[in-house]
Amino acid sequence: MRRLYAALVAGSAFAGACAPAGRTAAQPGAAPAGPAGATNQGWVANTALYEVFVRDFSPAGNLSGVIDGLDRIQATGANVVWLMPIHPIGVLNRKDPLGSSYSVRDYHEVNPDYGTKDDFRALVQAAHARNLKVILDWVPNHTAWDHRWATEHPEFYTRDEQGRMTVPRDADGKLTDWTDVADLDYGNPGLRRAMIGEMRYWLDEFGIDGFRVDVAAFVPDDFWREAVPQLRAGRSILLLAEWDAPRMHDLGFDLTYSWPSYSRLKEVWKGGPASSFVDAEIADVRSLPNGGMRMRFSTNHDETAWDQPPITLFGGAAGARAAFLTMALLPGTPLLYNGQEVESPQKLGLFVREPVSWSLSGADAARAFYRHVIDLERTHPAFVSGDLAAVQTDQANDVIAYRRGNAVVLVNTRPRPVRVTPAGVSLNGARDLLAGGAHQGASVSLPAHGAMVLEIAGS
């Protein structure tokens, strides 16, 4: 999704009391729920995502370069590789020199700049050999102007008053500035069949493990009610909707975006009250139906390109780590994006090529931190299944404090040291899950943008 629509949906807010909110992922063996099939069953319930922009991920900028980097991805603790669109990019009305990956010229092919279908098959096989899943970024709302459907199936496209193909419209019905793409008309049954067929092709022919769906709510809900059962038929796949409305989970999506959380986090970092962050997260988690979960991020391809990378946005390496930890340990599944684990300051624009600088000073320490947090999120019982509850402290304005099961998370959101004393929990003797050892005393001293995760003794 372009930044324009991220801003629209990020404006939503949640309010609620501080009652505990459970992890919404269904536990193994849970019965299916919802008209579109069960969500978050089996492996899908315990995932961490790594988003790859193939163009920038390696010096080669192709699928072979991703294969060469799979061990690096696996070393982050992530177990799902999300590939941004790999299809040929439209030439007609292209933006900037290289165009956007989200302007798809042919759903059935691989961008020749990235390689061939054989290269893609080799990538999927290499990932699976490492117990990594692979999901494709899918763009169903629109195509490039020179997609083959524009000539072979002109009836698939939305028309303006003059009968001309048109750019997509926004949530208020206004024309977007997405001038490199043409809107698809889901009132056409033939388009619906064709789109499901194209998605099934990648599932059946290459054995991919699901999709991240671009602007999923711009496509009619009834299409997803029709499509999701067909996509899930015979296997467990992951479906991530680029949207934050809870109803997407009733349509069969496992994961939705946590834009409101990201917006709230930035507001706290700008000086807003830290205590309000957790209250809103509790209400948000409780709002998700059908086993739905949020994808938790402190950046992604849109945020880094149009906002700033975390190391800039959150005030340096310590701030970037604190922001990631805050998000990753909430109920849901965490995301890392191209170079985030080495704290790259690059913005990685969507229409140009800028290979990630992997050999940065401090990269090894950064990688170790992100791996540690992801391992906690995926393996520690408190974060696998623990309820989310607010923790009251004497530093409510500055410290984000919450509890997951028997673990307490404390994050200093300020560029200055803070000493914080939680209420209602005994920290003395608690095990430090980040640094190791046992904590002594009722209070915690946090350096500038410091964080501590404590397992409460006897809980």
Residue-wise pLDDT tens digits, 140-149 = 999 999 999 9
Average the pLDDT over 92-118 and give the result. Answer: 97
Alpha carbons 256 and 272: distance in angstroms, whole number = 25
Which stretch of DSSP H or E encloses residue 333? strand 333-337
> How would residue 170 be classed by pLDDT, with cut points 50, 70 and 90?
confident
Tens digit of pLDDT for each residue in 386-419?
999 999 999 999 999 999 999 999 999 999 999 9
Give residue-wise pLDDT tens across range 349-395. 999 999 999 999 999 999 999 999 999 999 999 999 999 999 999 99
Residue that the structure tokens 């709230």 belong to: 264
Compute the distance between CA of residue 315 and CA of residue 198 in angstroms, rounded to an integer: 43
- Mean pLDDT of all residues in 226-234: 96
What mean pLDDT comes out for the span 419-429? 96
1.10.3210.50, 1.10.3720.10, 3.20.20.80, 3.40.50.970: which CATH number matches 3-15+22-387? 3.20.20.80
Output the pTM of the full model: 0.93
Given this model, what pLDDT does residue 42 score? 84
**Model pLDDT for residues 175-185, shown as the tens digit of each residue:** 999 999 999 99
Collapsed DSSP state (helix, strand, coil) of residue 49: strand
Nearest to 369 by CA among 351, 343, 400: 343
> In 258-280, which positions are buried (b, 16+ CB within 10 angstroms) versus exposed (e)?
bbbbbbbbbebbeeeebbbbbbb
Return the closest-CA partner of residue 226 out of 195, 265, 257, 258: 195
Average pLDDT over residues 433-458: 95
- Each residue's pLDDT tens digit, 4-36: 434 443 333 322 333 346 433 332 222 233 344
pLDDT at res. 5: 39
pLDDT of residue 4: 44
Q: What mean pLDDT comes out for the span 55-61?
A: 98
Q: State the pLDDT at residue 40.
A: 55
By C-alpha distance, which of 273, 400, 282 is closest to 15? Answer: 282
Phi, psi of 200 (to 5 degrees): -60, -30
Q: Where in the chain is the domain with CATH 3.20.20.80?
A: 3-15+22-387
Question: What is the per-residue pLDDT for 28?
Answer: 27
Q: Give DSSP secondary structure letters for 337-392.
A: ETTGGGT------TTS--------TTHHHHHHHHHHHHHHHHHSHHHHHPPEEE--
First vs last C-alpha separation in the chain:
43
Average pLDDT over residues 313-341: 98
| DSSP secondary structure letters along 154-183 | GGGB-B-TTS-B---B-TTS-B-S-TTEEE
Beta bridge partners of 256: 241, 294
Mean pLDDT, the chain, whole residue set = 91
In single-letter form, the type of residue at position 14 comes to F
CATH superfamily, domain at 399-455? Golgi alpha-mannosidase II (2.60.40.1180)
Name the pLDDT band for 173 (thresholds 50, 70, 90).
confident
pLDDT of residue 172: 82
The tokens of 69 are what?
Answer: 């980097």
- pLDDT recorded at residue 27: 29
Could you read off the pLDDT of 147-163 as tens digits, one per residue? 999 999 999 999 999 99
pLDDT at 303: 95
Q: Give the residue carrying structure tokens 């028997």.
A: 406
| pLDDT the model gives residue 41 | 66
Question: What pLDDT band is residue 234 in, cutting at 50, 70 and 90?
Answer: confident
Average pLDDT over residues 441-446: 97
Q: What is the pLDDT of residue 116?
A: 98
Range(s) of the chain covered by CATH 2.60.40.1180: 399-455
